[in-house]
Amino acid sequence: MNKVYDYLVIGAGPAGMAAAIEASNAGLCVLVLDQAASAGGQIYRNLGQVGSQQAKVLGSDYLAGKPLLAQFMAANCDYQPMAQLWHIEAHEKGFLVVALVRGESITYLTSHLLLANGAMERPMAIAGWHKPGVMTAGAGQILIKTSALLPKQVVLAGSGPLLLLLAQQYRAAGVTITALLDTTPKSNYWYAIPWLVAGLTTPKQLFKGVWLTLVQRIKTPYITGVSHIEVLGEECVTGVGYTVAGKAYDIACNLIMLHQGLIPETQMGQLLGCTQVWSETQQCWQTQVGVAGQTSVPGLQVAGDAGTIGGAYVAQFEGRLAGITRASSGVVPLSLRKRLITLWLCLRVKQLHWARGLVDRLYRPASWLSAPTPDTIVCRCEQVTAGAITAIARTGCAGVNQLKGFTRAGMGACQGRQCGFNLAYLVANTQQRPMSEVEPLTIRPPLSPINLGQLSRRPEL
Amino acid sequence: MLSLNPEHNQSAPYDWIIVGGGLVGASIAYGLIQKQPHLHILVLDGGDTDHRASVGNFGLIWVQGKGYEFPAYANWSLQGADLWPQFARQLSHKSQIDIAYQRQGGLEFALSQQQLNALSEEMAAMAHHTQGDFQYIILDRDAALALQPGLGEAVAGAVYSPQDGQVNPLYLLSALHKANQLHGVEYQSRCTVENVEVVAQGFKVAGFSAKHIVLCAGLDNQRLGKQLDMHLPVSPVKGQILITERATAGTLKYASPQLRQTAEGTIQIGGSHEHTGLDDRSTLEIMQTIADDAVALMPGLAQLQLVRTWGALRVMSPDGAPIYQRSHKYSGAFGVCCHSGVSLAAAHAGPLSSWLLNTLDGDQKILIEAMNNDRFPI
Amino acid sequence: MTDSLFSCLIKDPPQCPIVVNGIEHQVPAQLSVAAALLYLGNLAIRKHPVSGESRAPFCHMGVCFECLVSIDGQHKRRACLHQVMPHMCIDTAMVGVNP
C-alpha cells in the first residue's frame, strides 16, 4: 500500500484507455481499475474476445474500437480488471481508492485521479417496469457482446440512438421485433430543427443516424408518438399497453426492452465532493467539468460519458486531453507540439459536444415520463411507489434526502441509481420547483457491495 | 414550500416559532400543539443536505449510562424512557405511521473485564442518582451468551437494562411532522436561519414574527443563541455507522449501542466518536475499525453485506447532557440542545413543552432547570 | 423452468457444465451467470425481500442489483458480473442471511 501512483484511472472504456495511453507514454506510473473481466467499457464490451458471428451483428462502429484496445493492452501501465471499486476518499498524498479484487479489499494510493467510469441507462419508470421480462436496451446489447445471446422476440420501447442501433443489430441477427414503440414527442422534432446546423458538423454521424432511423421505420413495425406505456402481466410480462393520439392499444409479448438515453454515473464525483450541476439539455446531473476534465477538486478529473454524455468518439478525445493535461502538470513545460495537440483536442471536444446538441434535443425524454402514475414502483429496491413519494413531497419536505429518510426510497441495494432521478422529478413537480434547485441524493460508501468480513482487518477472516 | 394553516392570518405574529425541524424541534412542536391546540406554531427547517443530527441517529431510547456523573440528567433520561410507551402509542395513532417502537431492554457489551468493571461502576452511580429506579444486571460472559447467542470470544460480559428500547428514528421524525401538520402546525423547509431579531411583539426571523422562539437548530444554536443573549456551547462530535443488508429476523435480541437490528431486518453497527469539525464523511479507517469490532462481537456478522454507511455530527455540550435555557434578557426566547433527540423525544413532547409554556412547577421544573447553562463557565 | 425466450447467436459454442438449484446443465461457455439463467428459461431469479414478488435481471451491467444469486456458496453476487465457470454452483432461492 506504500506505492503512490501518479495517475489512477477508473474505467477501461474509450476515455480511460486513451488517458492511460497518453499518461503512460509520457512516463507516468499509471494504474487502470475496471470492474469487467476485459477492457473496453460498455461500448466496446468484450471487444477483445468477440467471435465473427457476434462482430457481424454488432457492426462497424463497435469494431472501430479495436485499434484503441490494442494500443491500451500494449501500453506500459498497470491494469487491474475485475476490480469492484467500493470507496474513494481524499488523502494527504492525493486520493485513496479501495476496491474488491477476487474477494479481497485492496487499497491504492494515487496523487491524481481520473473518473472515466462511464454512463448508465436513464431509468425509465413506467407501471410494471419491475416485472420479469423487462430489461434495458443496453442490457440487450451487453447480452450480444458478452454472452452472444439473442431474444427470440422482443418489443423495443423508448427513444434514442441506442434503441435504433439495437433494432438494427437485432434485425441483422434475425430477431423478431414485434414493435418499436417510439416515445419521442413530435414537438422534439421542431426543437431540434435549429440544431441541424450543429449536427451537420459531424456529417458522417448525422447521415448514419438518419439512415438508421429510416431503415427501422420501414423495416420494423414502428409506432411513433407513443405515450403512457404500461407493462402488463402479473407474475411476469404478458404484454405492453400504450397510448397514441389519445387512443389506447396493447400488444402481447413476453420481453420488453426499454431505453431513454444515457446518464453519467456521478456517484464517485459526488462522493469526493465535486460540484454537481443539473443539465436541462441532457436532463441529468453532471459533475462540473472544465475543458480538460478538471473538476472542483484539485487533482481530480472526469472524462468521457462519466462527465457529459457524448459517446465513444468524443470520449476518446476527452481521455487523451485528460492524460496529456495530467502529464503536463509536472515541472517540465509542454512542448509546442503538445500544446498544439492539446488546443486541437479542446476544440474538437467542444465541437463534438456542440454537434451532440441535435441528438440531445431530438431525444429529450417526454414529460410524461417524469410523472409516473401513483402505483408505479419508483424505488425498485425498497418497493416504494410514486404515490407514496408524492404524499411525502406534498408535506413540504426539503428534498430527496429527507424523502429518503421518510420512505426508504434510495436506501436499498442500488443506493438510488435506479430511483434518484424520479425521486427528484416527483419532488420538483409536486412542489413546483425547478430541477436545478433539487439536490441529488447524498452518496456514501460502499459504491458496490462488500461484506463485513472483507472490510474488517482481522487476520483470522 | 410552506405548509400553511388557512385559519392563521399570515400577517399576525405566530405564538411560537421553532427554529429547526429535526427531532428536537418536531417533538417540541408536537408537545406544544397537543397541550394548547389553539396555538399558531411555525417550524422553520433547513435545506435538504444541511447537517442534520436527526438523520444520523442510531435509534436507541437509551437510559443506561446516561448521566452517571450528572444526577439530574440520569433522572431526566429515565423519566423520558418511561414516558415513551404512551408517547409512541399516541403518536402512531395520530400519524398512522408505525414507528417500530420496542422496549425489550438493552445490552452494552464489554470486550474486557476492565471495561465490564467500569460499566458496573457507572450503573451503580445511575442507580444511586435515581434512588434505585434505574434497574440493571451485570452479566458475565455465559449470562450474556444466554441472552444473545453468537457472541464472539472477545466478549467478557455485558450490562443489561430492561428500561432501554429502540425505535425507527426516521419514521419517528416523519410521524412527528405528519401529526404536527394534521394539528395545524405550519412548516417551512429550505429556510436556514441566519439572524434572529428582537422586536416589539417578540422576535422576527426569516420574515416571520412570533411572541416566543425556541432554538432547536442543533450546531447552529451556539451562533443563534448569542443573538438572543444565550450561551449555548455545543460542538460537533462525528459518529460513523455501518448498515448491513437484511439479516434473519431475531438475529439480535436486544438493542445495543454497538449493534441494533431494525424492524426491516437490517443491522446497524456503531459507531465512532470523532472530533473532525463539520466533516461528516465516511472514512476507510473508521469503517474498518467498526467492522473489526463488529466481527469481534459477533463473528457470524462477517458474511453480511454492507449496504451503506452513514456519518453525522452529534450536537454535543461540554458534559454531554442537554442544555435547556431560557434567555434572561429576552423573555420568550429559549434554547434546547441535546444529542439524544430520540431518547428524549417523549420528555420533550411532555414535561419540557410544559416548561416552555410555563405551566410546570415543583420538582419537574427544578429538574429541567438543573440542566441550564449555569453549569458551564463562559 | 419455462421455454427459454433466448437463444445463442454462436453455432456450436464450447459448452460449460454448471449446477443450478441442484440440477446439472450444459450451457455455452461464454455466458454470464445472468445470461445462463435466461438461456435456461429462468426469467425470474429471485423473490423481492419486501414484496415477495419475482424479480429478474434488468440492466446486466451491475447497477440495478436485481440479479442477486448465490455463486459457489457466496450469497448475493450480481450474476451479470460473473462468467460461468465449470461446475459452478448457482442458487437462486432467496435465502435469508443467518449470522
Split at pLDDT 50, 70, 90, the class of C3 is: confident
B273/C73 Cα distance (integer angstroms) = 36
CA B208/CA C43 separation, integer angstroms: 58
CB atoms within 10 A of CB B265: 18
Whole-model pTM?
A: 0.93
Q: Which of A89, A411, A449 lies nearest to residue B284, judging by beta carbons?
A: A89
Nearest to A31 by CA among A279, A287, A326, A408: A326
DSSP string, A329-379: TSSSPPPHHHHHHHHHHHHHHHHHHHHHHHHHHHTPPPGGGGS--TTSEEE
Smallest Cβ distance to A446: which of B174, B181, B306?
B306
Cell of A382: 425498497
Q: Which helix (H) or strand (E) holds A277?
A: strand A276-279
| Paired strand residues for A83 | A101
| DSSP3 helix / strand / coil % (chain C, rounded to 5) | 10, 35, 55
Q: Which of B250, B60, B254 lies closest to B139, judged by CA?
A: B254
**Confidence at residue A2, expressed as pLDDT on a 0 to 100 scale:** 76
| CA A258 remoteness from chain centre | 14
For B337, the grid coordinates are: 440542545
List per-block mean pLDDT (blocks of 10 residues) for chain A, which spans 461 residues.
Answer: 91 98 96 96 93 89 95 97 97 96 95 97 96 96 94 96 94 94 95 92 89 89 95 95 96 97 96 94 93 92 96 95 88 77 93 93 94 96 96 92 93 92 95 94 94 87 56
Backbone angles phi, psi at C12, to 5 degrees: 50, 60
Indicate if the pLDDT at residue B320 is higher than 70: yes
Q: Which three cell numbers stand for residue B134?
A: 434505574
Q: What is the DSSP letter of B255?
A: B
Query: For position C1, what pLDDT does the model report?
Result: 45
Q: Which of B125, B117, B118, B127 is nearest to B68 (CA)?
A: B125
Q: Is any Cβ of chain B less than 8 angstroms from the Cβ of C87?
A: no
Task: Name the pLDDT band for B56 (thresholds 50, 70, 90).
Answer: confident
**The C-alpha cell that represents C73 in the structure block:** 456458496
Distance CA C62, CA A414 (A): 9
Integer Cα distance of A365 and A422 in angstroms: 12
Distance CA A325, CA A320 (A): 8
**What does the block give as the cell for A267?**
456517484
Chain B residues with a Cβ under 8 Å from any Cβ in chain C? 150, 245-249, 251, 265, 298, 300-305
Q: Does A142 touch chain C (CB under 8 A)?
A: yes
Q: Output the pLDDT for position A336.
A: 86
| B246 contact residues in C (CB cutoff 8 A) | 49, 96-97
What Rg, from alpha-carbon coordinates, does chain A have?
A: 22
Reported in sequence order, the residue ranges of B152-265 that DSSP labels E, i.e. its strands, are 157-161, 165-166, 186-188, 196-199, 202-205, 208-215, 235-246, 259-261
Strand A94-101 and strand A83-91: the pairing is antiparallel
The answer to whether the CB of A65 falls within 8 A of the CB of A22 is: no
Q: SS3 of B340, please?
A: coil
Among chain C residues, the shortest Cα distance to A102 is held by C82
To the nearest whole angstrom, how far is the Cα of A396 from the nearest Cα of chain B? Answer: 5
Q: Check: CB of residue B203 under 8 Å from CB of residue B17.
A: yes
Flag whether residue A55 sits within 8 Å of chain C, measured between CB atoms: no
Question: How much is the average pLDDT of B255-283?
Answer: 94
Q: Which residues contact A316 (CB under 8 A, 6 or more apart)?
A: A14, A15, A17, A18, A68
CA end-to-end span of chain A: 19
**Cα of C28 to nearest chain B Cα, Å:** 31
Are C97 and B245 an interchain contact pair (Cβ–Cβ within 8 Å)? yes
Please name the residue of chain C whose CA is at the shortest distance from the CA of residue B244: C97
Cβ <8 Å between C38 and A149: yes
Task: Enter the C-alpha cell of residue B168.
Answer: 425507527
Cell of A373: 402514475
Q: Are B167 and B342 in contact (CB under 8 A)?
A: yes
C7: burial class by Cβ within 10 Å (0-12, 13-18, 19+)?
middle
Cα A370 from Cα A365, distance rounded (Å) = 8
Tell which residue, A441, A444, A442, A412, has the closest CA to residue A427. A441
Cβ–Cβ pairs < 8 A, chains A and C: 129
| Pairs of residues, one from chain B and one from chain C, whose beta carbons lie less than 8 Å apart | 29
Could you tell me which of B161, B1, B80 has the C-alpha nearest to residue B340?
Answer: B80
Which residue in B150, B298, B303 is closest to C97 by CB distance? B303
> If you search the block for the grid coordinates 412570533, which residue do you land on?
B210
In whole angstroms, what is the distance from residue B40 CA to residue B296 CA? 52
Q: CB A313: neighbour CB atoms within 10 A?
A: 17
| Interface confidence: ipTM more than 0.90 | yes
Mutate to test the interface with A, among B1, B5, B111, B172 (most CBs of A within 10 A): B1
What was the pLDDT predicted at A328?
A: 87
Cell matching residue B364: 419537574
Check: CB of residue C93 under 8 Å from CB of residue C44.
no
Look at residue B3 in the predicted model and tell me its pLDDT: 57
* Å between A49 CA and nearest CA of chain C: 10
d(CA C81, CA C61): 7
Going by their DSSP bridges, the two strands A377-379 and A384-385 should be labelled as antiparallel
Nearest CA in chain C to B247: C97
* Cell numbers found for residue A236: 411476469
CA distances from B152 to A260, B293, B301, B333 (A): 50, 10, 10, 51
Sign of CA dihedral A82, A87, A88, A90: negative
Q: Identify the closest residue of chain B to A99 by CA–CA distance.
A: B284
- Does A87 contact B284 at a Cβ distance shorter than 8 Å? yes
Of C10, C50, C58, Cβ closest to residue A382: C50
Which residues, other chains included, contact A158 with Cβ-Cβ below 8 Å and sequence gap of 6+? A124, A137, A181, A182, A183, A258, A259, A260
Q: Which chain A residues contact residue B189 at CB under 8 A?
A: 396-398, 402
pLDDT for the residue numbered A332: 62
Measured CA to CA, the distance from residue B28 to residue B347 in angstroms comes to 9
The answer to whether C23 contacts chain B (CB < 8 Å) is no
How far, CA to CA in Å, does A363 sit from each of A163, A186, A205?
Answer: 11, 10, 15
DSSP C72: T
Q: What was the pLDDT predicted at A292?
A: 86
Question: Dihedral, CA atoms, B86, B90, B91, B92, nearest 10 degrees?
Answer: 100
Q: How far apart (Å, rounded) are the C-alpha atoms in residues A445 and A448?
A: 8
- On whether any CB of chain B is under 8 Å from the CB of A457, the answer is yes
Q: Give the dihedral sign, CA C67/C71/C77/C82.
A: negative
Question: From A461, which residue of chain B is nearest by alpha-carbon distance?
Answer: B302
Q: Which three cell numbers stand for residue A400?
A: 430527496
Quote the CA–CA distance of B129 and B68 in Å, as a whole number. 8
Which is more confidently placed, C47 or A177? A177
pLDDT tens-digit map of B171-228: 999 999 999 999 999 999 999 899 999 998 899 999 999 999 999 999 999 999 999 9
How close A108 gets to chain C, by Cα (Å)?
22
A407-431: burial string, b at 16+ Cβ within 10 Å, e else:
bbbbbbbbbbbbbbbbbbbbbbebb
A456 and B284: CB-CB below 8 Å? no
- Predicted confidence band of residue B10 (pLDDT cuts 50, 70, 90): low
Instruction: Tell whether A418 lies on the interface with C, counting CB pairs under 8 A.
Output: yes
Beta strand pairing call for B137-140 and B157-161: antiparallel
CA distance A326 to A421: 33
Cβ atoms of A235 and A103 within 8 Å: the answer is: no
Residues whose CB falls within 8 Å of the CB of residue B99, separated by 6 or more in sequence, listed in order: B88, B91, B92, B167, B168, B171, B172, B175
pLDDT above 80: residue B60:
yes
Would you state the pLDDT for residue B109? 97
- Is the CB of residue A99 less than 8 Å away from at least one CB of chain B? no
CA distances from A98 to A104, B302, B352 (A): 10, 19, 47
Q: What 3-state DSSP class applies to B79? A: helix
Cell of A393: 413531497
N residues, chain B: 378
**What is the grid cell recorded at A461?**
477472516
The answer to whether residue C75 neighbours chain B at the CB level (below 8 Å) is yes
What one-letter code names the amino acid at B192? Answer: T
* Model pLDDT, residue B1: 47
